[in-house]
Amino acid sequence: MLSAGTESLLRQARELGQEELQKFCVRTGALLDRTGHNADIMDSLRRLHLVVAAGGHRDLDPAFVGKLQELVGSDGGSGQIRALGAAILCHLCPSPLINLRPDLGGLQCPVLVAQARGKDLLAIGQLLCRSLESRAPEGHNLRPLLPLLLRLELEEEQENVVNKKLCDWLRYASSIHQGPPLASGFFPSPRAKQPGPVSEVDGATATDFFTVLSHGTHYSEEQWLNVLGFSMLRPWLLCHGFGGATCDDKSEVEGSVVSMVSASSASSRLLPPRERLREKAFEYCLRLVEQSNRKALRKSDSEMQRACLAEAVALLDIVCKQDVSYLYRALPLLKNLHGRLCTDLSLAPALLPLAQFFLNHSEVAAVDSEAVYRHLFTKVPTDLYHKPLFAFQFVRFCRTNSSFLEENVEAFRGSFPSLLKFLAWNSPMLVSEFLALLPALISPDSALEILHSLLDLPCLTAALEIQRSCSLVSDKTVVDSSVVPSSATEAFRHPLCRDVFQYILRSETCPVPDPQQLSLLHRVLAELSSCPRVLQCADIVPCVLQQYFSIIAKVADGPLISRLVVVLLERSGLLFQSQDYKDKVHKVLSSQLPHLCHLHPALVVELSRQLLDFVGTVSNIQSKEPLFTYVVWAVGEYVSISYDKRCTVEQVNRFFDVMETLLFEITQTRGSSGVPRSSPRVITTLMTTLTKLASRSQDLIPKVSLYLSKMRSCVQSSAMISMYGEEESEQILIRATELMNLLKVPSVAQFALTPSPDVRSPAYHRAVASSLPLAIRASSRLLQKEGTSVPG
């Protein structure tokens, strides 16, 4: 976070008007024309740089831009002033006002690269390649310009020049470290270290060629080029490494590891530049793998070892993809490396490149990689979920390879409990990546368990918090299994809660516990509902659920949708004990119920018992009002023979009896202090559902008409008005009147409330003269006392 002073300066720079900016440029340009005002010029250019860098494109005076280009292209003057001028020009790019001459020795290069014009980049590439091919002038350093090679379009001849140089830098850098710069004076310092062999990270004298992991007091230019060459090797190979000879061109050595090695060493100098670079890159990576096995003396060296090992494995993968003959030399090494990685968590960054290697090559090499995948998807997330960078890299790896993993790797298909640990612990950072990965995890076999897991995601976060706190604190207290745990930490070690914690922290798929165990889990974790990490996780669950149901709509069949609705009804009352979380999840579940019913309308009849139990429980109105309302709506909409031939009059009457009793209970007992107030939306939905059911079983019409008549009188009573207010009471009265009028013409009621598939099409609701609107208007006119005819 920036300080208040910095924020104030940035705000002033952003708010500076164009007129004031032009005046400032004129004053600064006048200073540039004078001599002996370096301090004032520096101050003005710094201010101008802040203005152009603070955000938004700024137009500067063309004459002033020309002066800046002259400044940057000149050889004299202060280097700091010229660097500031170049930085300002970079922020103005791309601009038609900028036209600099390519020159490797000056500050023009970064400006031209920012300008990114094809002819400029081509000229820079030609200059750079010519400089690499010939010996650079004394004291001239091309190192800062070498990364530009990755942005340039090079011809084959220029690529060969770079390939040769990279080979020399990687393999033939000096193994002697330089002494310190000579001190002034005649006698050398006796404490200064003299030139000598570089050492390994464990302090031993290096006996092989120099690498980025070699140690020295001072490094020569060629050693720095070795380090830089390794850092740009992977992007260079990806961009320019394909092509040339492959293993198909080396049939005489194919299949023999010994012959491959001997042929490679003997003909190294005879290989074309691209193939020779692959060989040197391969040798360099093998050397790094060997160096990473040494015991580093310093912590910084250990971190460097891990980073270089991961990069080396990724480079081996690229080299083997470009030339399969290297694959058989790399496989034994990488199998042994996997054994090391399984026992040393500190080397985890190399796990993902290694898994990528086996994903890319196991089929060609006929290697069984299931052990690699099983360790990766079960053990690793459990141990490293708390590492944010690794978590992001892991989910990105799964997303990148999701198609292959979904089809070919059994360990991945059952790994979502492990992957959810990454999401539970790093919710804000991983949510977008996980949403993209979710389609690969959901299948008809895993859909139900994933829904349970997503609903319990805050519980997983809370359980991980407890697990980490218990692992960091060595508490040897003996737990009394006969005493009910008084805190979440005690519950984590209590035998009564052991099974449910093992479930929530599982690494692979397993059966979902019964509702009593889930309720126990929610109770013991309730005290962590205000934990910041748990709150963050709870905030992303509705978004993930929305994505889950959008995927289900594409992959689920009718029986699966019916099972999902059962889970939805059961779990609506079994959620993490945070009221805000419950409200958000209920909102999502209720919004998805109509979509599920639309996909499989017969589920309402198939699940009649579960739905009747749900709507018959009055407490659901208060605790799950959005979901309750949609369930009532679904009953009215889909309990019809037009959706399911199995729907009988007895089923319609059974639903009707439960709805009628429920509506009576929440309206006629309104004076009782024990009955809470129900929303007008619930009441009007219940009345509409009763009317729909009556239109399908006309024996029920007199009962509904009588009840609606009583409802009209009831809603106008002082007790009802005092409970709901005049406006809401009026809405209930209007709905009751409309439904009564429809039931007075049963044929119209059935036509309007239970329309045929043709009538349900959107055209009947958009067209003014279509049948449905016309029928409703006609019935309304018929039932008006003033009406004497029906308009045609």
Which tokens belong to 463? Answer: 């359980």
User: For 395-452, what is each residue's pLDDT tens digit?
Assistant: 999 999 999 999 988 889 888 999 999 999 999 999 999 999 999 999 999 999 999 9
Cα 48 to Cα 51: distance, rounded to the nearest angstrom: 5
What pLDDT was estimated at residue 741?
Answer: 86
Q: Flag whether pLDDT at 374 surpasses 50.
A: yes
- Mean pLDDT throughout 35-46? 81
What pLDDT was estimated at residue 776?
Answer: 58
Cα 494 to Cα 513: distance, rounded to the nearest angstrom: 17
Among 661-675, 699-713, 718-732, the least confident range: 661-675
Domain parsing of the chain, residue ranges: 4-120, 154-178+196-367, 381-595, 601-754, 758-792
- pTM metric for this prediction: 0.81
Across the chain, which distance is largest between two alpha carbons, in Å?
125
In 188-264 the beta strands, taken as DSSP E runs, fall at 196-197
User: For 610-658, what is each residue's pLDDT tens digit?
Assistant: 999 999 888 888 889 999 999 999 999 999 888 888 888 888 999 999 9
Higher local confidence (pLDDT), 178 or 711? 711
The angle at the Cα of 150, spanning 145 to 156, to the nearest 5 degrees, equals 105
Cα 534 to Cα 528: distance, rounded to the nearest angstrom: 7
Percent of the chain with pLDDT over 90: 38
Which tokens belong to 13? Answer: 């720079």
Higher local confidence (pLDDT), 757 or 597? 597
User: For 185-223, what is each residue's pLDDT tens digit?
Assistant: 444 555 555 677 888 888 888 888 999 999 888 888 888
- The answer to whether the CB of 322 falls within 8 A of the CB of 315 is no
CA atoms within 13 A on the CB side of 333: 22
- Mean pLDDT throughout 62-83? 80
What pLDDT was estimated at residue 136?
Answer: 52
Q: How confident is the model at residue 790 (pLDDT cuts 50, 70, 90)?
A: very low
Q: How confident is the model at residue 536 (pLDDT cuts 50, 70, 90)?
A: very high
Which tokens belong to 741? Answer: 């009028």
Cα 13 to Cα 50: distance, rounded to the nearest angstrom: 7
Q: Flag whether pLDDT at 320 surpasses 90.
A: yes
Strand partners, 215: 199
